[in-house]
Structure 1
């Protein structure tokens, strides 16, 4: 069976792809911003993540303390 798109029936075409936008053959540059977090050491990124998510972590810990672990009865260990 040929590699055909179900939407168009044309080989190699992707459904919803805009093939007319790149007729000139030029490659469009993708705007990729480098986050400041990517330049920090891993330990620093983890520390900042914990600070940013401290409220959610505390809520999750409170839930587990009150209700126990989800699906604990299915654990094999």
Structure 2
């Protein structure tokens, strides 16, 4: 039987400058600031990559959309819905 190996990402201590009031409030609420910062950075990276992909592929997307507008969906006659 195959068992998947679970790997944890390596972590590195990092210094961040954060708003003092926000940090105090987060700690008072029991928020893990490191994990929250990591989640926020991960979301920012994801959004940046999405935006970059859209910019890099804008011409291809526009071309595909123009084709569908002019000719309809390819293989539309085979759709069963």
TM-score category of the 2 structures, normalised to the smaller one: 0.3 to 0.5
Larger RCO (CA under 8 A, 6+ residues apart): 1
Q: Which has the larger radius of gyration?
A: 1
TM-score (norm 1): 0.47
